[in-house]
Amino acid sequence: MRGVRNGLTGLLLLCGVAAAEPVTVVALGDSLTAGYGLADQAQGLVPQLENWLKARGQDVIVQNAGVSGDTTAGGLARIGWALGPDADALIVALGGNDLLRGIDPAAAKANLEGILQAAVARKLPVLLVGMKASTNFGPDYKAAFDAMYPDLAARYGTLLADDFFGGLRTAGADPADPASMAAFMQADGIHPNPEGVRLIVEALGPKVEDLLALSRP
């Protein structure tokens, strides 16, 4: 079958018709991207997102570059090798662990900026996925943390999904109210269960379609 496909590709090229290739999207993130805690990894964010896009007719490969426990600093440290030669676009979904650890938003913002600069150097379109801080570290911290995503998106001209958990909010859940989140979260109350991931994907999916449109000539 591979020989038939390769032969067809060669014939198209000889006829002056370029064979279309899937768009490769790298999803750089933490445990929320990696699919931490799910018994079936096929129910993780990346597989569900890829399937959602393909069901809508998109020819796409979504690569899982999520590392559990990663902060924005960790993402910056590995962005060079996470963006392989086939990368056509980048999703950045980092900041949750910075938030849990109370890391200075200015430091987190500088790390995210470094990641975006790496994408700019590769001329890759980016979807930046934000997180919403709780008030645990005070209103000033929350204001600075929440603002860094739209600030960076405006500065670098990236697409923006302002809330990773936006799909759960649409379903009536509130991250500040654990009881309302219970149906969509694993027992740890931090990571989504398969149904929670499905709702997150449904909210993020249209933004990723916009990203795919930017990645095509």
Q: pLDDT grade, residue 200 (50/70/90)?
A: very high
Strands 23-29 and 60-66: parallel
Q: pLDDT grade, residue 9 (50/70/90)?
A: very low
User: Which regions of 109-191 does DSSP assign to beta strands (E)?
Assistant: 126-129, 159-161
- Domain ranges in the chain are 16-215
pTM listed for this prediction = 0.90
- Look up residue 156 and give its amino acid: Y
d(CA 34, CA 39): 12
Sign of CA dihedral 140, 143, 26, 182: positive
- Predicted confidence (pLDDT) per residue in 46-97, tens digit: 999 999 999 999 999 999 999 999 999 999 999 999 999 999 999 999 999 9
d(CA 139, CA 137): 7
d(CA 156, CA 184): 33
Sign of CA dihedral 53, 43, 82, 204: positive
Averaged pLDDT, 177-184: 89
Architecture of the domain delimited by 16-215:
3-Layer(aba) Sandwich (3.40)
Task: Return the active site residues.
Answer: 31, 188, 191
d(CA 169, CA 59): 29
